[in-house]
Structure 1
Amino acid sequence: MSEAAARDFVPVRIAVLTVSDSRTEADDRSGDTLAGRIEAAGHVLARRAILPDDRAAIAARLREWCADTEVDVVISTGGTGLTGRDVTVEAHRDVYDKEIDAFGTVFTHVSMAKIGTSAVQSRACGGVAQGTYLFALPGSPGACRDAWDEILAAQLDYRHRPCNFVEIMPRLDEHLRRK
C-alpha cells in the first residue's frame, strides 16, 4: 500500500464568498459551482454569502471568516478583473499575512490551456491570514471549475502527495502563538 493510500481523507471547512453587484442566491452559478464541488469532494461548506464589489466590506467579511474557528479556507469568486469595480484582489491583499504567489501563476497556466491569452485578464490570487487560506477566483463558473478541479481539489486533499495545504494547516498561525 502506498503512503498516500494509507492516509485518511480530512474534510476541510470551506466558506464561499461571491462578489457581485448583480448576483443573488437564485442566480449565483459560480458560487453554486464551488459549493457543489466542495461538498462532492467530502468537505464542509461552512459559510456562504454574496457581497457587492466593495473593498472594505469584502475585507471585513474575510477577516470575520478568518477569525471564525469553523472556517479553514475562504474561496471568493468575482471581482478579480481589471475594471474599476473589480476590488476583490485588493481586499484580499488587505487581509493577507502572506501571499501564495504561485497560486496566481498556476491558475494562469491552467487558464491559458482553456481560454488562451485571455487568461492575462485574471488576477486570481491566494494567501494566508490568521491561519486561514484565502483564494480569490474570477466570477465565471468555468474559472471556478478550473481552479477547483486543477488546483484546489488536490491541494485541499490531505492524501495528495508530495505535499498539500491541509498538512501544514496546524502550523499556519504558529508565529502568533506564545513562545
Structure 2
Amino acid sequence: MSKIDETAEFIPVRIAVLTVSDTRDLSQDRSGDTLVGRIEAAGHVVAERHIIPDERAQIANQLRLWCEDDKIDVVISTGGTGLTGRDVTVEAHRDVYEKEIDAFGTVFTIVSMQKIGTSAVQSRATGGVANGTYLFALPGSPGACKDAWDEILVKQLDYRHRPCNFVEIMPRLDEHLRRK
C-alpha cells in the first residue's frame, strides 16, 4: 500500500493553476481557490495563476508557454472537461501532450464514482507530460478539484510518497530531448 517515507526530504513543486471559463474572474474562481489553498497547504509553490476563456488555441498556447518556463514543474487546469460544445480543455491538453498519463483519468473516475456515482462518466479528466512538465486537466467544480488533489495529486506530487511518485522521475521526463 502507499505511504509517506518520513526519512525522505520533502521537495516543493512549482505549480501553475489555469482556470478555463468564459464567465469567471478571480473573485468567483472557487475551483482555482480550492487548488491554490491545497497546493500551498501541502508545501508546494503556486508559480502562476490565470483565467482564460474556453478557446482551444488559447488554452493550448498557455499550456505551451508554461511548459517552456523553467520555473513551472506542473500545470493544473480546472474547467472545460465536460461534454458540451464549449468544453475544449481536454482537446487543448492533448494538442500539447508528448505522452498521456492514461491512468490519471481512470483513477480520477474511480475516485469520482465513490463521491458522485455514475455521474463520473461525464468527466474527461486527463493528465500528460510535455517538455518535462506535468499537465492535468480537472473538472471545473471545487469538489472535483478537491477530490483530484486530495486523493491523487497530493500523493503523486510528494517526493516522499512510496512506492513511487511523479516527482522522483521529473529529472528524466525530457531525457529523450538530450539524446541526440
TM-score range, shorter chain: over 0.9
Q: Which runs of 5+ in 2 are unaligned?
A: none
The match for 2:36 is: 35
Question: How big is the shift at 1:3?
Answer: 8.7
Q: How many residues align?
A: 178
The match for 2:113 is: 112
d(CA) in 2 for partners of 1:114, 1:5: 30
Q: Alignment identity in percent?
A: 80
d(CA) in 2 for partners of 1:125, 1:19: 14
The match for 1:85 is: 86
Conserved in 1, the CA contact under 8 Å of 2:4 and 2:161?
no
Segments ≥4 residues shifted beyond 6 Å: none
d(CA) in 2 for partners of 1:139, 1:176: 33
Question: How big is the shift at 1:113?
Answer: 0.2
d(CA) in 2 for partners of 1:88, 1:13: 21
1:174 aligns with 2:175: yes
Output the aligned Cα RMSD.
1.1
Write the deviation string for residues 156-176 of structure 1: whole angstroms up to 9, x where unpaired: 000000000000000000000
Q: Residues 1-179 of structure 1 correspond to what in structure 2 (within 5 A)?
A: 4-179=5-180
Write the deviation string for residues 84-103 of structure 1: whole angstroms up to 9, x where unpaired: 00000000000000000000
TM-score (norm 2): 0.97
Q: Which runs of 5+ in 1 are unaligned?
A: none
Write the deviation string for residues 132-161 of structure 1: whole angstroms up to 9, x where unpaired: 000000000000000000000000000000
d(CA) in 2 for partners of 1:22, 1:33: 18
Conserved in 1, the CA contact under 8 Å of 2:31 and 2:78?
yes
Task: Say if 1:119 and 1:170 are closer, same or farther in 2 by CA, change over 3 A.
Answer: same
d(CA) in 2 for partners of 1:30, 1:38: 12
d(CA) in 2 for partners of 1:8, 1:129: 26
